Structures are given as structure tokens and as C-alpha cells.
Structure 1
């Protein structure tokens, strides 16, 4: 009888432990760093056995759509959202996110890069913590450039980049002169293209919110882009976003790639890249102005107000964005794979600096990207590769589709940009920005 009671008590304890367990549903993007986070999350579950993690890993465009719909409708499907410097201040202002206050003492918020913190705040309150942060830069094959006796300066120009693409394009050998994003989306082709338009002297809107899409500056930048991707890039460019170009470059098929600095850690990892040790890094090319030539972005983790497990979600986010997590990645996956761009301590860590030959270029690029002065001419908005207004998500994606149509030869440059201009004018009038 006594033994039966002991056994029953044991069953009761295990049942209560199971009932006390919280499941967090985490929505994230299928970028390599997030795949690593998922892979290492068993360490979190060991440390916090009362919290179980349920992962929803999606391509970038799909993630943005699902997360935006979920939070706008207060559906409550997720406890942790992977969002960026575009959404965070807007959603924080709307009251859709839990403020990131009351963090553990050892979290050391002052160690997080100031420009990154600022980008994830609204009215001085922090609404997300950065998993990694990035700017954009030129990544190139040192061996191919050396063979053509091309020296790359720390700050290249677009004229130089265009010349190099022509010289290095050898599709018969499986080498393309340049790889650039072509997949339509405000955070895909338009993220890259906005920086190109900025440095060519263009802007999305003038000071009165009048769209500038069919301006001479846009025509020059987009015309140059279309020539580059159709003559010196891989086929099927309108299907290539960040992830596809990362694969192409790591397979050795791109002589140059201008994109997110976070890619460098993947390219330098011999486990995932055929070009590890062969890559060089320089700042994003400039044309008529350095303003807005390279972006500032962070993929960050946030908690929607609809989550029923906000405290547990904060515990997970603090773990995934901590110094300890960075050290865990460095010690288990190799220091070149450590999440970049978030903490000053990472850039003073000798292990990271030894492995990450790109570290200085990345840090300089993040620190010099200025979302408050993204263009040559004055603008009424903040944001380098996006416009920080709620309507931009739809506007950017729509314009990205028009530009993909130009690249695919479905419409001329002139007609495509005129159609995009008319569409954005209509949206801005309906939203009340224009009379």
C-alpha cells in the first residue's frame, strides 16, 4: 500500500511538471544564422526544462506576410516574432509589442551597438532585441580579381563595379560577373535597389510626399541595374533573393555580390562554402553621393502583445541574443559563424577578429549607415533601404514587381517606372499623404 502511494505520488509529480511546461511558438526566417539558433536551442531547453520550443521557419517574404497578418489581426499564433528595424518602431508605436524591459542584469544592454538599439526603439523604449545586425557591402572573389589584375579599393564606385562585372563575366566557365537580388519584395530586390537609387542621387519621395519613381535618378539607377543583371548575372534573376544569391556565391558562381554583410560569416565557413578563404570585402559602391549607399538592418526577436507567455518568451529572447549565446555559437560552430553586428564585445573578441576577416568592414558599415540622412536631397522619412511608414511594405513590394517585369522584358524601363509612379501616387493619395 505504501509503495503504491509513493508510485502514485511520483506519477502526480510528473503530471504536474508536464502540465506546468510552456510551449513557445517562434516564427523565424530561414537564414543560416536562424537555422543555427534552432539547431542550438536544445541548450536552452536543457537550461529551462519548463519551456518547450515550437519552430515555424519560413522564407523571408512568407515570414513577413504571415507575421504582419498575425499581429495586425491579434491572432496570437506566435509568442516570438522575428522582425526588423522597419516593423519594430511602427508596431511599438501601435502598441502591438511587449516592451523589452526588466532584462537580466547580466544581459548588458549597453554592450549592444547604439545604432542597432536605436533602430529597435520607439520613443526611447526598446521593443525588440537584435539577433544579428547588418549593413551591406561588396563581396568579391580575390582569386578572380587577381587573375585580371584588378585591385579593389576600400570604397569602390559603381563605375568600377560595372567595369569589373563586364571583365569577370564568364558564363561558359560557370562564373557570372555580378549577383544581385531580383526576387520582388520590399525587403528583397527593393532593399538592395533602394541603396543603389540613393547613391545615384534618387529618393522615394520629395519633401511633400510626392513619389519620385520616374525621376532621372531612378531611371539611371534602375537602367544600370537591369543591364547588370541581364548581361552579367545568372539566369532567372527574378527568382533570386538573399538566400539564392548566398548559395550561388558560396558555390563559386559569382565574381561579385553586393548584399547583406551577414553573408560573410557563411561564405568564410568551409563547412558551408566552396569559396572560404577566397573572398575579399569592401564597402558598398557609391555613385554621386555616399548617402544611403549601404543599409542598416537588424533581424530581431520581439514579443507580440497577443502572446500568453510573454515572460517565458522574454527569457528565450534574452538567451538567444546574449553574450553567452554568441560564445556558444563560436565554440560549437566556429567563431566565423558567430552572430554579427549586435555587440561591441564581439568586435573586441580576439577569437572572432581572427576568424572574421570582414569584421572591420562590417562594423564600419553599420556605424556609418545613417537612416536619418539616407539621400542626397531632403526627404520627409527615416530609413536607408526602406521608408519608415506603414504603407511602405505594400508600396515596396508593388514597385519590386514592376521592376521584376522590366528585368524579365515584359515592359520597358520607361513604361515600368511610369506605371510604378502612378500606382504609388494612388496609394499615397488614399493614405492621405497627398491631396
Structure 2
């Protein structure tokens, strides 16, 4: 565990340092798809990425001479490794999986290959079919630096058999107070009422927690980049989250992020889960999920705002340092194409088609039928959230569960560790956020 935390800190530090160094914006970027090439792809170890690795043989058969070597990591480790690689210009990876947070910053810094022409010049790829909100987040000054593999918001997922047995009804637009009451009623010695991320990391614990803070009226910064981490609203939101975990959450939450909560919900160890909407496609896969057909879905819970879901996409990008840019771009287009979605549907099952990336996905009859339980609400939430102002007050950046400044990785990781200590009972929320305020303000001062 210590080694992982140190790696995350190193990655974030390199990002901050490299943004200040103009000499490491990358070299290379040429290359050709001809000849024998082995591409190294760094990716998060989510189920959809594992599906991509399982299906890569189809691409390799259609593109003789190109092989794909997958390197899968946990989310925090991936960010640290990829950040270190692109920031230093090491060129270890030919293709990287990056989030909506990183793409516009890295693109503007010159670390990623501009894919605009390659996408626009290929009518079969149909770049205009990608969801506009997601594509916009990947574009800087008219240049698109990545393509979405899947997009998501956050929703409440619950086991209907458990809620029905307890006589509990979850509304389509629940409040956090409603969820708290239900979680406590469903909590037993064998089943946790709710699973929430507690693993330290800005993309782990603070992905859902930031949305809770926002709907409670809090924010990382005000319009003038004054940190608000120990404001009453921020403290109230974090205390609510921590207390909900203590009173009705899963055991040892500081060890849990997306994958761990997914596994616990699938195995019947928890009744509810608030997390990424993409999880619904996994939960509804009858081939792998014991709860397929037993789940209910609702909008992200709220308190003082009308919506509180996040907006995120996992994307494929080509670092400027690769010597195989043409081959890498060929694979990136294949893995995010309509053809790939058809391949997933016919080979692995239609519930496993990557959601939230292409508009046409929601017009495929087989997908509409297989994903009827979750596809409409996923699209509804993604179109309802407001990344320009997700909370009660205006903010000087665009983004919901993250702040689009390079220092935020480090800030978020450090504050997440402090909050994880509070979840574990080693400190109080107030003490943790007082320390977090100092960390956040140092980064905020650089924006003034």
C-alpha cells in the first residue's frame, strides 16, 4: 500500500513540474502502420478495457503486422504511470487511456497527438456521432486530442429484491436523506446497506464524494480561487458521507473503489451503490452477473441541487512520444468505432457495449432491448448535469468531480488520504479538512 501511495504522489508531482517545463512536451509522433509493430497500451483495469483486450485479436487479424500489448493497472496507478511517462517524454506507451480531466490539459501542453484530421477524413468513423458533450471535453482550440471509449455519469444502483423485501421504494430522483434512511434499514450483519468508495485518490474516493459536497452546497474553490475545503458546506457533505459509511456502509471502505464495490453488489453483500453509470452494463450481463434483472437505477442522490451526477469519459489517446503514431491511431479508431460496438454486442453480449460515447449506440435495436433497464437513465443523466456549475455557486473551471488545473491530482490525492484517515477513525473530518484547506489554497494561489 505504501508503494502505491508513493507512486501516485510521484505521478502528480511530475505533472505539476512538467507543466512548467516547456522542453518536455514530447518528441517523435511519426511512424507508420507498415511493418511489424507492437504497440503498448496502458489502460485502467475496468471490465470494458478487459473486453477490449479480449477482442484485440480481431484487430490484429485485420491489420497484419500490428500487435497490441495491454498493460492494465488500477486507476490511481495508471494515472501515476501515464502522467510520469508523458510528462517526462519517456515514450514507454504508444496508446494511453486517459480521463476527461487530463486530455485538455495534456493536449494544450503538446503531449498528445492531434487526431482531428484522422477522424474527420474517415467517413466510416463518423466522428460527429460521438456525444457532443463528451467530444467537447476532449477538444482544445478546435483540435481533438483523444476519442471516447466510453462515457458515464453517476447513478444510484440498488438490489430491487432487497428493497422490495424490506418494503422500501427508491424514487427516480432520490435525496441523500432518502438514501440514508434506506441504507440504514437495509443494513444487516450480512449485507451492507450501501457501498461507497473510500480508497484514497482524487479519482477514487473523491469522484463520488465531490458530487456529494457539491449538492450540499460546497466546492473546492470559489470564483476567485479561494479554497473552500473547510467551509461549513464542504464539512457537512464530507461528514454526511463518512457517517453514512460508518452506520450503513461496507466493511473496510478505505480498501474499496469501483471494482471492489461492483464485486460486492454482484455477490449480494451490499444492497445499494452510488457510482459510475457504466457499472449498470456489467450488472445486467446475465452471463457474468448474479443480479442481472434484479437491479433498480435512479438519478444521483441530491440535497440542495436538482442534479448531482458527474460527467466523465475514459478515452484513448496517442502520446506525441510514440514512434508508431499511425499504427496507434489505427487501433484507437478501431476500438472506438461503430464496428467495435457491433463486435462487442455480437461476441460478448449487448449489455457490454461501451456506453456514453456514440449517439448511434442508443439506436441499435439489440442494445435498446438488452440495456432497457439502464440506457435511458444513463443518457438522461449525462444530458442533465451541468459541468460549468454543478453546485450552488459559480466556479472558475469546467468540470464536476475534478478541478481542471494540473495541481489538482496532487491536491485531490492528499486530501483524499486525509479523509480516508477520518473514515478509518484515525482523525476527525474537521481536522482532516483543516489540513486539506492549506493544501488546496497553495494550489489555488497559483491560479490567481
Length-normalised TM-score, structure 2: 0.90
Cross-structure match for 1:92: 107
Q: Where do 5+ consecutive residues of structure 2 fail to align?
A: 1-33
Shift of 1:328: 0.3
SS class of match (2:60): helix
Shift of 1:198: 0.6
Cross-structure match for 1:72: 87
Shift of 1:423: 2.0
Please, which of 126, 138, 158 is the counterpart of residue 156 of structure 2? 138
Cross-structure match for 1:418: 434
Please, which of 367, 383, 388 is the counterpart of residue 383 of structure 2? 367
In structure 1, C-alpha distance between the alignment counterparts of 2:317 and 2:385, rounded to whole Å: 23
Which region of structure 1 is more displaced relative to structure 2, 375-384 or 296-305? Answer: 375-384
Shift of 1:428: 3.3
Cross-structure match for 2:139: 121
Asked if the contact 2:388–2:395 (Cα under 8 Å) also holds between the matched residues in 1, the reply is no
Shift of 1:229: 0.9
SS class of match (1:106): coil
Length-normalised TM-score, structure 1: 0.93
SS class of match (1:362): helix
In structure 1, C-alpha distance between the alignment counterparts of 2:344 and 2:435, rounded to whole Å: 47
Cross-structure match for 2:72: 57
* CA deviation vs aligned residue, 1:293-326 (integer Å, no higher than 9, x gap): 1100000000000011111111000000000100
SS class of match (1:139): strand
* CA deviation vs aligned residue, 1:27-84 (integer Å, no higher than 9, x gap): 0110000000000000000000121111111111100000000000010000100001
Shift of 1:149: 1.9
Cross-structure match for 2:365: 350
Is 1:40 paired with 2:40? no
Shift of 1:212: 0.4
Shift of 1:272: 2.1
Query: How does 1:20-419 map onto structure 2 within 5 Å?
Result: 20-101=35-116, 102-103=118-119, 104-171=122-189, 174-290=190-306, 293-356=308-371, 357-419=373-435
In structure 2, C-alpha distance between the alignment counterparts of 1:394 and 1:52, rounded to whole Å: 35
Give the greater-gyration-radius structure (CA). 1
* CA deviation vs aligned residue, 1:250-297 (integer Å, no higher than 9, x gap): 111111100000001111112222111110001000101125x11000
Shift of 1:349: 1.1
Shift of 1:231: 1.6
SS class of match (2:441): helix
Shift of 1:22: 1.0
Number of corresponding residues: 411
* CA deviation vs aligned residue, 1:343-375 (integer Å, no higher than 9, x gap): 111111110011111000000111112211122
In structure 1, C-alpha distance between the alignment counterparts of 2:347 and 2:447, rounded to whole Å: 51
Asked if the contact 2:160–2:295 (Cα under 8 Å) also holds between the matched residues in 1, the reply is yes
Asked if the contact 1:374–1:382 (Cα under 8 Å) also holds between the matched residues in 2, the reply is no
SS class of match (1:186): coil
SS class of match (1:282): strand
Asked if the contact 2:115–2:145 (Cα under 8 Å) also holds between the matched residues in 1, the reply is yes
After superposing on structure 2, the runs of 4+ consecutive aligned residues of structure 1 that deviate more than 6 Å are none
Alignment RMSD: 1.1
Q: Where do 5+ consecutive residues of structure 1 fail to align?
A: 1-18
Asked if the contact 1:24–1:80 (Cα under 8 Å) also holds between the matched residues in 2, the reply is yes
Shift of 1:413: 1.7
Asked if the contact 2:284–2:292 (Cα under 8 Å) also holds between the matched residues in 1, the reply is yes
Asked if the contact 1:250–1:272 (Cα under 8 Å) also holds between the matched residues in 2, the reply is no
